[in-house]
């Protein structure tokens, strides 16, 4: 049982193994065997063309993916760089604030020392102004001219 050329053409066209323009060319051939050979040839040629087209599409897709990966890597690099810059700025600010804090602490300490010195000076001045009943300043260290008297201290 031999299949007709028209049936083979119809099946090939339905399976998308040949193009519509190939159908017209195969139908113009009067010899069935030559028509079948032309059909087989057109199937192979169309399959090869499809394969080449598929390879090109895969190549294009690969290039797109490669470019996309490069862009993503560049974006990641920029992101990392900006993160590093933010961290550096943060550390700089932190260092600056620590320096300001230390300066403020030292200024406060200097003010405390100045105030303490001021109040000690005031206290000394007040003590020097105060005198006891003999006219001697209170809390003034007593010095003795005679070493014998110095050894025997008499409290009055």
pLDDT digits (tens, 9 = 90+) for 122-148: 887 877 776 655 666 555 555 555 666
Q: What is the mean pLDDT of the chain?
A: 82
Average pLDDT over residues 17-41: 83
pTM: 0.44
- Mean pLDDT within 55-78: 95
Residue 53 clears pLDDT 60, i.e. is over it: yes
Task: Work out the average pLDDT over 78-82.
Answer: 95
pLDDT score, position 119: 83
27: in domain = yes
Mean pLDDT, range 111-115, rounded to an integer: 87
CA distance 49 to 57: 12
The number of folded domains in the chain is: 1
| CA–CA dist 25, 39 (Å, integer) | 9
pLDDT beyond 90 at 71: yes
Q: For the residues of 70-114, what is the DSSP string, one character each? A: HHHHHHHHHHHHHHHHHHHHHHHHHHHHHHHHHHHHHHHHHHHHH
What is the model's pLDDT at position 39? Answer: 84
Note whether residue 114 is domain-resident.
no
Asked if residue 46 is part of any domain, the answer here is: yes
31 pLDDT tier (thresholds 50, 70, 90): confident
Binned at pLDDT 50, 70 and 90, residue 1 comes out as very low
Residue 126 maps to a domain? no
In a domain, 97, yes or no: no
User: Is residue 103 situated within a structural domain?
Assistant: no
Residue 60 lies in a domain: yes
132 touches 138 (CB < 8 A): yes
pLDDT for residue 88: 95
* Phi, psi angle pair for 131, to nearest 5°: -130, 155
Domain residues for the domain of 66 are 5-91
Which of 47-61, 73-87, 90-104, 122-136 comes out lowest in average pLDDT? Answer: 122-136
How many C-beta atoms surround the C-beta of residue 26 within 10 A?
Answer: 23
Answer whether residue 117 is part of any domain. no
């Amino acid at each position: 049982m031999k299949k007709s050329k028209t049936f083979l053409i119809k099946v090939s066209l339905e399976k998308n193994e040949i193009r519509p323009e190939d159908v017209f060319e195969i139908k113009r051939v009067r010899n069935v065997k030559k028509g079948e050979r032309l059909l087989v040839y057109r199937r192979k040629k169309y399959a090869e063309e499809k394969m080449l087209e598929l390879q090109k599409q895969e190549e294009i897709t690969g290039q797109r993916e490669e470019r996309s990966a490069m862009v993503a890597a560049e974006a990641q690099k920029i992101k990392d760089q900006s993160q590093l810059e933010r961290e550096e700025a943060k550390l700089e600010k932190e260092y600056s604030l620590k320096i300001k804090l230390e300066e403020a602490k030292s200024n406060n300490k200097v003010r405390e020392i100045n105030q303490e010195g001021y109040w000690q000076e005031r206290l000394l001045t007040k003590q020097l102004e105060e005198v006891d009943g003999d006219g001697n300043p209170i809390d003034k260290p007593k010095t003795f001219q005679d070493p014998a008297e110095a050894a025997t201290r008499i409290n009055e």
